[in-house]
Structure 1
Amino acid sequence: MAKVKYVRVSTDDQNTARQEINNNDFSKIYIDKESGAIKFAERKEAKKLIADIDKGNINEIHISSVDRLGRNIIDILTMIEYFNQRQIKLFVENIGMFSLLDENIPNPSFKMIVSVLGNVAEMERHNMLERQKQGIYLAKAKGTYKGRLYGTKLTDDQLLVKYKSVAKELRNGESLRRAAKIGQCSLGTAQKIQRILSK
Structure 2
Amino acid sequence: MSQSKTVQGMKARYNRISTANQKLERQLAKANEGDTLYNDVISGSVPFGERPQAIKLMYAIANNEVDYITVSSIDRLGRNLLDVLNTVNYFTNNGVNLMVENLGITSLVDGKPNSTFKLIVSVMANVAEMERETMLERQKEGIAIAKAKGTYKGRVRGSVEDTKDFLAKHKTVIKYLKQGNSIRLTAEAAKVSPATVQKVKKALTDIQTIA
TM normalised by structure 2 equals 0.53
In the other structure, the counterpart of 1:101 is 109
Q: How much does 1:116 deviate?
A: 5.5
1:58 equivalent in alignment to 2:66: yes
Q: How much does 1:99 deviate?
A: 0.7
Q: How much does 1:12 deviate?
A: 1.5
In the other structure, the counterpart of 1:13 is 21
Moved more, 23-32 or 42-51: 23-32
Structure 1: runs of 5 or more not aligned? 124-164, 174-199
Aligned residue identity for 1:75: D
Is the Cα contact below 8 Å between 2:48 and 2:79 reproduced in 1?
Answer: no
Aligned equivalents of 2:109 and 2:53: distance in 1?
27
Q: How much does 1:27 deviate?
A: 3.1
Q: Secondary structure at the match of 1:109?
A: helix
Q: Secondary structure at the match of 1:94?
A: coil
Structure 2: runs of 5 or more not aligned? 1-8, 132-165, 176-211
**Which of 19, 34, 45 pairs up with 1:37?**
45
Once the two structures are superposed, what CA deviation does each residue of 1:22-66 show, in whole Å capped at 9, x if it has no partner? 334233100001122211111000000011111111110000001
**Which of 110, 126, 130 pairs up with 2:117?**
110
Q: Secondary structure at the match of 1:48?
A: helix
The aligned runs of 1:53-132 (5 Å cut-off) are 53-102=61-110, 104-114=111-121
Q: Secondary structure at the match of 2:98?
A: strand
Q: How much does 1:170 deviate?
A: 7.4
Aligned equivalents of 2:80 and 2:86: distance in 1?
10
Aligned equivalents of 2:71 and 2:32: distance in 1?
14
Quote the RMSD (CA, aligned, Å): 2.7
Aligned equivalents of 1:117 and 1:59: distance in 2?
23
1:76 to 1:43, Cα distance in 2 relative to 1, 3 A: same
- Percent identity reads 40
1:170 to 1:74, Cα distance in 2 relative to 1, 3 A: closer
Is the Cα contact below 8 Å between 1:73 and 1:115 reproduced in 2?
Answer: no
1:168 to 1:31, Cα distance in 2 relative to 1, 3 A: farther
Q: Secondary structure at the match of 1:79?
A: helix
